[in-house]
Amino acid sequence: MKRPEGPGGGLGPPQDPPPPLCRELWGSREAARYREDSRGGLQRLVPPGACSHSCLRRAAARVLLPQGYPESVSPDYLQYQCWDALQHPDGRLGHPGGSPGRGGGRQRRHRHRGHPHLGAAGFPPKPAPVPKIARFHPKTGAPADGVGMVTRITFAWLQGTRLDCEAKQWRLAADVLNDAALVLELLAPAWPRAGPALLALAAAAKCIVGVAGGATRAALAVHQARRDNVADVAAKDGSQETLVNGAGLLLALVLLPLLEGRPWVTWGVVTLLLATHLGANLRALGALRLPTLNRPRLRLALGGALRGGARQGGVRQPHPTGDAVIVVPGPDEVNPREPLLPGFSTRLTLHLGAPLHRLVHSEAEFRKALECGTEDYIIVLRPSRGWVGVGLRRGAPPDAPLRACAQALLLEELLGPDLPPGAPGGAALRPLQQRLRRCPPGTVPWGVVAESSRLWRTLGPAFLRGLAAAGWETGRHLLAPDEWQLDWAGPEGGAPGDEPRPSPHNRLRPSAD
């Protein structure tokens, strides 16, 4: 390649390529850089070797490691897990039930409180062909082989990060699936041809119950343990469950002679016990008062603050600092209203910590996002698609995800009913609602996003102080941001090293909106 000529007509030194517009990182590793191409789009360039190694490594980490590894776990995590996994096959060979910490103990057939062993209530076991992939272990009762392995790994991969953030929702889902699996097991002997399929579905459901029930139970034990006594709380919870299961077994022994040969009466008793079980679980979840903020609780807290949902209402001036504090509903007010069905009462799909190629489609949109965002994050709102995305900047303060998520939920709140006259900042927010409603389909309302960022510089800190004053934990949260981070620092933002090569499948062009 010919070098550019210098001032005297000779060959000058090779010129450095222009700095990238933005770098995209997955955790602590650089995934791509973006530059403007000749047609106004964004050219995505990946570092050498990233396609062949980083993607596979990222996929394996998503399936097998906690989100955010290694920053999200202790330094001893990997060493412990390697040795713990190594002892697992030996334990399986020596003990058919598996080692205490895996397989046999953790994935035993999940029993919840609230109903006895209904399988014995009037339905004596009948011979039915059971495939090996749906067979239960004779000692532990755990779903064995193919169905159990695939279901456990797939469910932990798809929903593992949400088990912490939506502990109530998945606790209820585990109870519903447990009862559904029980009904399938009761129906299997009645239909010999469909029996194997029903048992396979029951096995898959029980695997999900084992993962979701155990994980959410651990999350709730962390909430309930106030003296660093999580192990003690979990152990006593197991003792309570054993006692209740013993009482359920006695009840089953009493009911079994009465239900023998009476299938309709048996199904009536089963229905009554299942309804009691689910009703008790709903009351138990309603009694929880979790002080950590996940997305549903943050949405309710913000909506209550803007629409007067708090008992006190309005804005007050605390003494002696004089900083404005928006009165926010506390955990005792918000938790009973938290929806137990995921996605309920949401108007927008929120992607917190989105990659750049999900946020913008051209260099002009990227420039607009920087102008309308903040120094710690950018927000892109697409109302016609029901989607709002937040790009978190690398090196932002720890509270940036909370502030960004609250601003994104503020935009979602503006898409709802009119704000009341006494809402904090209502005089400025109500015109934004009208502008959002007049937004042409398929476009990004950059003016509304920019104005919300300007208002949030004042409302945001007041809202965060209101959260802390109401008893919410603002130092940690359960908002589940994705691991993508962006670096748009300018000339100093590029990473040293070899020049990334263009990815043939990632040339972003200007979009219609």
Each residue of 499-508: pLDDT tens digit?
555 554 455 5
The C-alpha angle 292, 423, 418, rounded to 5 degrees, equals 100
Q: Is a pLDDT exceeding 80 seen at residue 314?
A: no
Q: Is a pLDDT exceeding 50 seen at residue 377?
A: yes
Q: Alpha-carbon distance 46 to 392, whole Å?
A: 20
Higher pLDDT, 496 or 245: 245
The pLDDT of 160-167, averaged and rounded, is 82
Share of the chain above pLDDT 90, in %: 27
Q: Is a pLDDT exceeding 50 seen at residue 105?
A: no
Helix axes 426-437, 400-414, angle to 10 degrees: 60
**Distance spanning both ends of the chain, measured CA to CA:** 39
Higher pLDDT, 152 or 128: 152
Confidence of residue 189 (pLDDT cuts 50, 70, 90): confident
The type of residue at 280 is A
Confidence of residue 329 (pLDDT cuts 50, 70, 90): very high
Strand order in the sheet with 349-352: 349-352, 387-392, 377-382
Please give the backbone phi and psi of residue 31, each rounded to the nearest 5 degrees, phi first. -105, -35
pLDDT of 121 reads 40
The C-alpha angle 399, 403, 405, rounded to 5 degrees, equals 115
Q: Is a pLDDT exceeding 80 seen at residue 161?
A: no
The pLDDT of 472-493, averaged and rounded, is 81
Q: Alpha-carbon distance 433 to 418, whole Å?
A: 7
Q: Cα–Cα distances in Å, from 273 out to 116, 120, 403?
A: 8, 13, 45
Q: Is a pLDDT exceeding 80 seen at residue 86?
A: no
DSSP state of 393: B
pLDDT of 115 reads 47
Residue 448, H or E segment: helix 446-470
The pTM is what?
0.78
List pLDDT tens digits, range 451-480: 999 999 999 999 999 999 999 999 889 998
The pLDDT of 391-404, averaged and rounded, is 94
pLDDT of 473 reads 93
pLDDT of 203 reads 87
Strand-pairing partners, residue 45, are 33, 502
pLDDT of 146 reads 67
Q: Is a pLDDT exceeding 60 seen at residue 490?
A: no
pLDDT of 425 reads 80
CA dihedral (88, 91, 93, 95) positive or negative: negative
Closest by CA to 424, choosing from 460, 468, 451, 372, is 460
- Domain spans of the chain, in order of start: 103-286, 292-493
pLDDT of 112 reads 44
Task: Return the structure tokens found at 297.
Answer: 């609780």
Q: Quote the mean pLDDT of the chain.
A: 77
The pLDDT of 471-491, averaged and rounded, is 86
Q: Is a pLDDT exceeding 70 seen at residue 7?
A: no
Q: Is a pLDDT exceeding 80 seen at residue 42?
A: yes
Higher pLDDT, 139 or 261: 261
pLDDT of 461 reads 92
CB neighbours of 365 closer than 8 A, spacing ≥ 6? 359, 380, 444, 510, 511
Q: Is a pLDDT exceeding 70 seen at residue 46?
A: yes
Q: Is a pLDDT exceeding 60 seen at residue 102?
A: no
Q: Alpha-carbon distance 271 to 478, whole Å?
A: 36
Task: Return the structure tokens found at 313.
Answer: 């209402």
pLDDT of 16 reads 62
Q: Alpha-carbon distance 332 to 453, whole Å?
A: 30
Q: Cα–Cα distances in Å, from 200 out to 203, 394, 427, 464, 477?
A: 5, 45, 58, 48, 38
Q: Is a pLDDT exceeding 70 seen at residue 17?
A: no
Q: Alpha-carbon distance 391 to 482, whole Å?
A: 10
